[in-house]
C-alpha cells in the first residue's frame, strides 16, 4: 500500500504527535508498506529518509501553547505537489483541525483520507470561528481514529461523528533489555531497600505526586535503603522542599529525561508509581513501564485499570489514598515473586500495544477507508473554501 502521512508539527522540536508519526511510519515500513511523511522542517535538518520536508515552520500561539506549523500559499503548493507525486492509496493526516499541513492536505485531497485525533480539543478557535469550514473539512475525511477514549468522546459529542479508538503504540523493543542507570536500582529484600519511581510534572495536582510523597515519607523510616527516583520538568528546590530534611538524601531528581533515557530510567526502578488523581485518558507511561519490565503500582482510574487489565498486570490502589499506597508498596517490595508475576503478565499486556500490532489495526482502517471511497488519493483544485 502507498501511504502518505501528514504531520502538522515540525520535527525540529520533540513532541507526542511527532513521535507517534515517526513510530507509526517505521512500523508501517516494517510491515512492507511504502510510506512518505510530509512535515514542516528545514530543508537541511537531519530527517529520516521517509520524511519530506515542507519548509520552515513558523511558531504560532495556538490553543494556549506555541505550535510550530506551516500554512500559506507556499505550503499549499508543496502539499499539492507531494500529493500528486506520491500517488497514494490512502492519505493519513494527524490533527487535521490544527491550521497546518494536515488541514491543507485534507482540503487538497480527494479520495480516502484517514484522520487521527490526538488531543481532546473541545474549544479550538477554528471550531468556534468557522462552523462551515469545519464541516467542509470533516466531510472530506473518510475514517477517523482517536488515540484515547477521551479524544473519541470529543469526536462523538462535539463533532457529530464516530471514531475508531486505536491506542498509542509503544516501541517495546526500545524499552526491553536496555541497561539501567549506573548504580540503580540497587538492593531490594524483605524489609529493606527498594527503588520507587515517578516520571512527570510533580507540581501538577492531577499527577498526584503528593500522594506518593506521603506514602514514601511514611514508609521510609521503617524501611532502610528505600529510595525515590523522580524525573520530569520542574525546579529541584520545589521537589526537595516537600520532604523532611533527614529523607532528602534518599530522593534523587533527574530533571527532564530525553526519549532515549526514559527506558533506562524506567529500568532503574523496582516499582513505578502512578498516583494520578484523574484526567488521564490513556496512561502511555504505564505501557512504557510495562514494556521496560518494571512493576507498576497505579491509582484505580478507569484508564489505568484498562491498561493494567483490571489489576492482573499491575497493582491498583484506591485513588488518592496514601495509606493504601504505602501498604501496597511495602507488600510488593517484600514480595519478589509477586513482582515477577505482575511483570510477566505486563509483558503479555504490552504486546497488544506494540507498534507492529497497533500499525496493523491502523492498516485495517486504511482498508475500510479505501473500500468506502473506491478511488485513489488525488490532487484536486482547491475550490470553494467556505
Partner 1 sequence: MPGMWWVVGTVLAVGLVAAYLIWTAGRVERLQARAESATRALDAHLLRRAAAAAVLAERRYGVELYAAARIALDAVPEEREAAENDLTRQLRAVELDPDDPAGEAVIAASRRLALARQVHTDLVRDARAARGRPLVRLFRMGRRHDWPQYFDIDDPTVTTRADVTTG
Single residue of 45, 84, 135, 192 touching partner 1 by CB under 8 A:
135
Single residue of 190, 245, 258, 383 touching partner 1 by CB under 8 A:
383
363 in contact with partner 1 (CB under 8 A): no
Q: Locate the DSSP E strands across the chain.
A: 2-6, 34-39, 51-53, 58-62, 65-69, 90-94, 109-110, 113-117, 143-146, 164-165, 188-189, 192-193, 195-199, 227-231, 251-253, 271-274, 295-299, 315-317, 378-379
Query: What dihedral angle (degrees, nearest 10) is formed by the CA atoms of 70, 76, 80, 85?
Result: -50
40 in contact with partner 1 (CB under 8 A): no
381 in contact with partner 1 (CB under 8 A): no
Instruction: Report how far residue 365's alpha carbon sits from residue 371's, in angstroms, rounded to the nearest whole number.
Output: 10
> What stretches of 309-382 show up as alpha helix (H) in DSSP?
322-334, 336-351, 355-371
Single residue of 104, 349, 359, 377 touching partner 1 by CB under 8 A:
349
Binding residue count for partner 1, defined by CB under 8 A = 33
Query: Looking only at residues 89 through 128 of this chain, which bind partner 1 when binding is defined by CB under 8 A?
Result: 110
378 in contact with partner 1 (CB under 8 A): no
Q: Cβ of residue 264: shortest distance to partner 1, in angstroms?
A: 26
286 in contact with partner 1 (CB under 8 A): no
Q: Cβ of residue 13: shortest distance to partner 1, in angstroms?
A: 31
Angle 348-289-8 from CA coordinates, rounded to 5° = 100
C-alpha cell at 217: 515519607
367 in contact with partner 1 (CB under 8 A): yes
Residue showing cell 530533571: 255
Single residue of 127, 254, 368, 378 touching partner 1 by CB under 8 A:
368
Q: Interface with partner 1 by CB under 8 A: which range of 14-22, 70-78, 96-104, 302-310?
A: 302-310
Helix (H) / strand (E) containing 55: none
373 in contact with partner 1 (CB under 8 A): yes
Asked whether the bond before 185 is cis by omega within 30 degrees of 0, the reply is: yes
Query: Looking only at residues 180 through 209 of this chain, which bind partner 1 when binding is defined by CB under 8 A?
Result: none
Q: Interface with partner 1 by CB under 8 A: which range of 93-101, 143-151, 215-223, 263-271?
A: 143-151
CA-nearest of 67, 34, 72 to 54 is: 72
164 in contact with partner 1 (CB under 8 A): yes
Single residue of 162, 189, 233, 236 touching partner 1 by CB under 8 A:
162
C-alpha cell at 361: 489495526
138 in contact with partner 1 (CB under 8 A): yes
Single residue of 205, 335, 364, 382 touching partner 1 by CB under 8 A:
364
CA-nearest of 237, 240, 235, 322 to 273 is: 322
Residue 349, classed as helix, strand or coil, is helix
139 in contact with partner 1 (CB under 8 A): yes
384 in contact with partner 1 (CB under 8 A): yes
Strand partners, 3: 35, 90
Single residue of 14, 72, 161, 233 touching partner 1 by CB under 8 A:
161
369 in contact with partner 1 (CB under 8 A): yes
Supply φ then ψ for residue 39, to 5 degrees: -150, 150
Q: By the criterion CB under 8 A, which residues form the site for partner 1?
A: 110, 135, 138-139, 142-144, 149, 160-165, 167, 306-307, 309, 313, 349, 352-353, 364-365, 367-369, 371-374, 383-384
Amino acid at each position: 500500500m502507498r501511504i502518505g502521512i501528514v504531520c502538522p508539527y515540525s520535527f525540529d522540536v520533540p513532541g507526542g504527535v511527532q513521535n507517534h508519526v515517526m513510530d507509526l511510519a517505521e512500523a508501517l515500513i516494517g510491515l512492507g508498506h511504502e510510506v512518505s511523511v510530509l512535515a514542516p522542517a528545514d530543508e537541511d535538518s537531519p530527517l529520516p529518509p521517509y520524511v519530506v520536508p515542507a519548509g520552515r515552520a513558523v511558531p504560532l500561539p495556538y490553543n494556549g501553547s506555541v505550535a510550530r506549523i506551516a500554512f500559506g500559499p507556499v505550503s499549499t503548493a508543496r502539499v499539492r505537489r507531494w500529493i500528486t507525486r506520491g500517488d497514494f492509496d490512502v492519505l493519513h493526516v494527524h490533527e487535521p483541525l490544527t491550521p497546518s499541513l494536515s488541514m491543507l492536505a485534507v482540503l487538497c485531497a480527494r479520495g480516502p483520507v484517514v484522520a487521527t485525533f490526538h488531543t481532546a480539543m473541545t474549544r479550538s478557535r477554528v471550531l468556534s470561528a468557522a462552523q462551515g469550514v469545519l464541516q467542509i473539512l470533516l466531510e472530506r475525511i473518510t475514517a477517523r481514529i482517536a488515540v484515547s477514549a477521551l479524544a473519541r468522546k470529543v469526536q462523538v459529542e462535539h463533532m457529530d461523528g464516530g471514531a475508531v479508538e486505536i491506542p498509542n503504540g509503544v516501541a517495546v523493543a526500545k524499552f526491553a533489555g536496555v541497561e539501567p542507570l549506573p548504580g540503580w536500582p540497587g538492593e531490594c529484600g524483605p524489609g529493606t531497600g527498594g527503588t520507587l519511581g515517578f516520571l512527570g510534572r510533580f507540581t501538577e495536582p492531577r499527577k498526584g505526586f503528593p500522594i506518593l510523597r506521603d506514602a514514601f515519607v511514611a514508609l521510609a523510616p521503617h524501611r532502610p535503603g528505600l529510595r525515590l527516583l523522580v524525573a520530569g520538568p520542574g525546579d529541584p528546590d520545589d521537589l526537595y522542599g516537600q520532604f523532611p530534611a533527614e529523607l532528602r538524601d534518599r530522593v534523587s531528581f533527574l530533571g527532564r529525561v530525553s526519549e532515549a533515557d526514559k527506558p533506562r530510567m524506567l529500568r532503574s526502578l523496582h516499582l513505578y508509581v502512578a498516583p494520578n488523581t484523574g484526567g488521564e485518558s490513556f496512561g502511555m507511561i504505564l505501557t512504557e513501564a510495562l514494556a521496560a519490565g518494571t512493576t507498576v503500582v497505579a491509582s484505580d482510574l478507569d484508564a489505568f485499570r484498562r491498561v493494567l487489565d483490571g489489576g492482573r498486570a499491575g497493582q491498583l490502589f484506591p485513588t488518592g489514598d496514601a495509606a493504601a499506597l504505602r501498604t501496597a508498596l511495602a507488600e510488593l517490595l517484600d514480595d519478589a515473586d509477586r513482582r515477577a508475576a505482575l511483570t510477566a503478565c505486563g509483558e503479555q499486556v504490552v504486546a497488544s500495544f506494540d507498534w507492529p500490532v497497533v500499525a496493523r489495526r491502523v492498516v485495517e482502517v486504511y482498508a475500510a477507508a479505501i473500500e468506502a471511497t473506491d478511488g485513489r488519493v488525488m490532487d484536486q483544485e482547491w475550490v470553494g473554501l467556505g
